[in-house]
Amino acid sequence: MSEPGRASDVRRAGVLLHVTSLPAAPDRETGDLGDEAYRFVDFLAATGCSVWQVLPLVPTHEESRSPYDAPSAMAGNPALISREHQAAHGLGDRTALDDRQREAFAAWCDEHADWLDPYAEFTALRERNDHARWTTWEPDLRDRDPDAVREALGPLEDRLRDLRFEQWVFAVQWARLREYAASKGLLLFGDLPIFVSLDSADVWASRGLFQLDQEGRPTTVTGCPPDYFAAEGQRWNNPHYDWDAMAADGFAWWRRRIARQRELFDLVRIDHFRGFEAAWHVPADAPTARDGWWVRAPGTEVLTALVDTAGPGTLVAEDLGVITPEVEELRDRFGLPGMKVLQFAFDGNPDNPYLPHRHGEQSVVYTGTHDNDTTVGWWSQLDDHTRDRVRSCLVDPGEAMPWALVRLALASTARLTVVPAQDLLGLGSEGRMNTPGTGLGNWRWQAPAGAFDHDLAARVRTLVAEADRLA
């Protein structure tokens, strides 16, 4: 057995399914950390898969529900708490904890105070201000004047305690699920967005680490130039980092952030890894991301801090999009696996890095990601010439989609193959999780009750075994 967390030591298979996409209880709008999460772990174990990949577990803003636009980069999403498990484990009422529970709660709050206290204060003040962005708050609260914040929070002490308690309950439930997954031989694979939301506790509490004007507004915002996903590029609207300020204390903020992720996960994907080499700066008043420019980042210094804190063999680079030799060199210097997406492979370019024969062991291969259409939806949009190119690479050219592409992904030389759950369920575009560049209607897909059954597990296990991925 490989060292815990070093997924690249052996051939493995995994499934991408966010917790919100688990089948929901009848009275819930989203999946959670209750019984269905444990059933999914059992399903994965039955398939022979040894990795469960999820999207960020952070809270989400009310309007978007995007885990990549969060009011905290450190907190857990309270919507994922199982109320049934909370009651069953005697954690339903903060005021009714026994002595042991109170001690555990207090110790956890002390251990996580560096992010927990700003998160609770920010959330309580945001609620007090009708969920308005902090940049619109009265200046003393916007600027986090200690006396003004203390006075405003005085009447909100119970709410602050509830917010901290909620985070502890999330931590307890996630730790139990992680322990159960480990008992089944599963690694949990998380996702760290490289940028954080402007409207977040992280930026409000640490303004000096970001490129903001005196009123807290970004001078430029994040995004990416025109690419496969968006002809006008994408405006993500996050503030950019002040790398000089971060370097002054040895990138302590990044060390705390990755340590928090490793507390939750065995493996962590760094979303938009190329931003550590250079990031796309878009004028704050520009209508699209087309008119941006690249600005270099201190990639070597930041990655040194991240790898030193996270430990070797635990990070994966999301290296999709506009990738330069400098980005590849940075990834390879730190021995990070990159990503290979089969849906990107068949444009007719013989040098396409996503073609199966170009993968290499030090990579993670996907049929598609949460930003892609499902394989069935993708296949339905291809022209005949592209379909012929795909068939020329398939293990069995006559096999139907999505199983033909799943089989091809599993056959890859890459040490880790991850398949979105929607592909295992054979779903079309109705199962798509996110369409980049669109603001509404994303992040809402859920698996129906009973979808992950014994017959599906047996079918997947046969393919995983044939590909020598029963880790």
In tens, the pLDDT along 162-216 reads: 999 999 999 999 999 999 999 999 999 999 999 999 999 999 999 999 999 999 9
Beta-strand relationship, 278-283 and 315-317: unpaired
Task: Confirm whether 383 is a catalytic residue.
Answer: no
Q: What is the pLDDT of residues 395-440, one digit of tens each?
A: 999 999 999 999 999 999 999 999 999 999 999 999 999 998 787 7
Confidence of residue 1 (pLDDT cuts 50, 70, 90): very low
Q: Which DSSP string do the residues of 376-432 spell out, in sequence order? A: HHHHHT--HHHHHHHHTT-SSTTSPTTHHHHHHHHHSSSSEEEEEHHHHTT--GGG-
Beta-ladder partners of 15? 52, 419
C-alpha 3: how far from its chain's center?
23
CA distances from 258 to 174, 188, 296 (A): 17, 15, 22
Cα distance between residue 404 and residue 335, in whole Å: 31
Cβ neighbours of residue 117 closer than 8 Å, sequence gap 6 or more: none
- Identify the weakest region by mean pLDDT among 145-159, 178-192, 215-229, 258-272: 215-229
Q: Note if 98 is an active site residue.
A: no
**Which segment of 64-68, 118-122, 262-266 scores lowest on mean pLDDT?**
64-68
Mean pLDDT of 98-106: 97
Rounded distance between C-alpha atoms, residue 86 and residue 357, angstroms: 48
| pLDDT given at position 229 | 66
- Look up 271 and say whether it is catalytic: yes
Side chain identity, residue 309:
T
- Closest among 358, 365, 465, 354 to 423, alpha carbons compared: 365
Q: Which of 35, 140, 328, 371 is catalytic?
A: 371
pLDDT tens digit string along 389-399? 999 999 999 99
Residues 269 and 246: their CA atoms lie apart, in Å, by 21
Active-site pick, 318, 319, 373, 423 = 318
Token digits of residue 454: 């014994």
Q: In which band, very low, low, confident or very high, does the pLDDT at 3 lie, cut at 50, 70 and 90?
A: very low
What distances in angstroms separate CA 417 from CA 451, 461, 468, one per listed residue? 21, 13, 11
Q: Which of 271, 277, 373, 423 is catalytic?
A: 271
Please give the domain boundaries of the chain with CATH numbers for all domains: 7-201+337-466 (3.20.20.80)
What pLDDT, on the 0 to 100 scale, is given for residue 419? Answer: 98
pLDDT at 437: 76
Tell me the average pLDDT across 258-271. 98
